[in-house]
Amino acid sequence: MTYLKRSPWILHYDASSCNGCDIEVLACLTPLYDVERFGIVNCGNPKHADVFVVTGGINEQNKAVIRNLYDQIPDPKVVVAVGICATSGGVFRECYNISGGIDTAIPVDVYVPGCAARPESIIDGIVQSLGILEEKRAKMLGRKRTKTAGTEGR
């Protein structure tokens, strides 16, 4: 459980969800589920965030907004797609204004199924994403080390 040593911050964005998953994401923060006991905090600023939680499918309007938010989150970062709409478009995939799941706009690390996704599975998805976050961090550090090692050798 080394990856739980740190306190990951979450940025939540509602892409085109019906609110079902959004309120379940919020419900995770409240007393019954209380993810803050893991040090997970919901923040409103992409520059503070480590985990990007997106609910709902992508439409043409918010594609740019999502990419923009994703680019603003500092590396390393992970993306969690919550709910079936975020995974594939769900029942709305035939709608003219929906272009599909979140992975049509940004790379996704963890998919959480469900309509609406239950708080238990959302928490599970986020905790899994922390493992990936740790791997990404280690990789980044490793790259930095080899870089500095390379310059020293020269």
Partner 1 sequence: MSRKIVVPFGPQHPVLPEPIHLDLMLEDERVVEAIPSIGYIHRGLELLVAKREYPEYVYIAERTCGICSFIHGMTYCQGIEQIMDVDVPPRALYLRTIWSEYSRLHSHLLWLGLFADAMGFENLFMNAWRLREQVLDVLEETTGGRVIQGSCKIGGVRRDIPQENLAGMAADLSPFEHELGELGTVFLKDDSVNSRLVGVGHLSRDDAYTLGAMGPVARGSGVAIDIRKTGYAAYRDLRFEPATETAGDCYARCAVRVKELFSSVDLIRQAIDRMPEGEIEVKVKGNPEGEYFSRAEQPRGELVHYVKGDGSKHLVRSRIRTPTLTNIPPLVKMLQGCELADVPIIVLSIDPCIGCMER
Partner 2 sequence: MKKIEDQVTTVISIASLIGRVEAFRKGAYRLVQMNCSKIGEQFEINYSFEKDYRFENIRIIITPDTEVPSITGMYWGAFVYENEMHDLYGVQVKGINIDFQGNFIRTSIPYPFRDPSYKGEGPCQGK
Of the candidates 46, 26, 43, 28, which has an alpha carbon nearest to the alpha carbon of residue 106? 46
Q: Which two tokens stand for residue 46?
A: 């992409």
The stretch near partner 1 (CB under 8 A) out of 2-10, 51-59, 103-111, 142-150 is 51-59
Rounded-to-integer distance, Cα 115 and Cα 119, Å: 11
Show contacts with partner 2 in window 89-118 (CB under 8 A): 89, 93-100
Rounded-to-integer distance, Cα 95 and Cα 73, Å: 30
Phi, psi of 99 (to 5 degrees): -105, 5
Q: Which is nearer to partner 2, 95 or 138 (CB)?
A: 95
67 binds partner 1 (CB under 8 A): no
Tell me how many residues contact partner 1 (CB under 8 A): 37
13 binds partner 1 (CB under 8 A): yes
Q: At what angle do helices 119-153 and 20-27 cross, to 10 degrees?
A: 70
Q: Shortest approach of partner 1 to residue 97 CB, angstroms?
A: 5
The stretch near partner 1 (CB under 8 A) out of 73-81, 91-99, 132-140, 142-150 is 91-99
